[in-house]
Chain A
Amino acid sequence: MRFMNVVVCVKQIPDPAAPARLDPSTWTLEREGKLILDESDSYGVEMGLQLADQAGGGEVTLVSMAPRNETSGLRTALAMGAARAILVSDPVLGGSDALGTAKVLAAAIRRAEPDLVVAATESTDGYTGTLPVQLAELLGFPSVTFVKKVTVGDGKVHVERQTEAGFDEVETPLPAVITVTAGVVEPRYPSFKGIMAAKGKPVDQLTVADLGLPEGSVGAAGARQEVVSVEPAESRKAGEIIVDEGDAHTRIVAYLEQLKVI
């Protein structure tokens, strides 16, 4: 098969292990510290690398939008084996909603002329899960979500798409957008040589103006979504402890029946 160009959308997020804070005036997540590769994107990177490899010739281009020209997370994905990255970073992009982010990423992805665009089903910090399909619409590509297995050949992508009951087999022409669920592949660990090689790989840093997007169409100014209030999640209630006095099994069965689990 001909050279295959896979674009993987990656998000660089605050370390989920560290306590997160929301800006009380905008209710957006504070992203002041070091950002890392969203773990859910590592599956897409791995899948992209495998597809490029299986094609017998190809490479992975990362596309990301992040504040302050942050590249830490990109370096991790480059160390895994991606060939290059396009990073869009611009102060006007603070406060972007999902659609605004999709517009920016779509403009960046067009430059890479992909055969296939891979994204996670949702990010670990935002969780809207809407961006990939918005992206597909903006690019004019078909999209297939919740992909657990993928093969590419004859200008088409053939996927197994996870459903509640099992999986659907779906085929669509390239170029296309697919979203991969966590755990479908085992993301490789960066090797020492991979880390060193990543330092020399190109990261194309772009602004909104570079992408030719009209001012006011993206970022907080272009956002059509507004967070009006944020409430802390209710803390989990203590569970019920069933002490076995010979009847524990019947009480557990009754409890599960009440939950309609069985």
Chain B
Amino acid sequence: MARYDPLLAWFRRRLRLVATAGAVGIVLGGIAAVVIAVLDDPTTASTQTFAIGTLAFGFGILGWSGSALAGRSIEGLQRRLDTNSDWTERDSRRAMTRLSGFGAGVMAGVVIVTPLLP
């Protein structure tokens, strides 16, 4: 049993990261959709806000997998080309997890709010 604990903790940490960012995303996405719907029309609001959400989501996924895939190359490149950089694969992955969680949240927020739009 004890063997699985670190894995569980690992998973829980990631989950918390995604969930926090996702919650922020849902709220912001919902608000943005409503605001744009008032200013413009509901269809545009839903489409544009969702698209921005997918942008953040996709960008986060891309950044996450890119960091995991080419992290070492990028670390080497930055060390050589820049004088002061503290890029690390781990930081990058955490930030990207947040970003994609946020994007997914915005997408979810739009899906929830759209039926309520006038």
Report whether chain A binds chain B.
no
Binding site for A on B (CB under 8 A): none
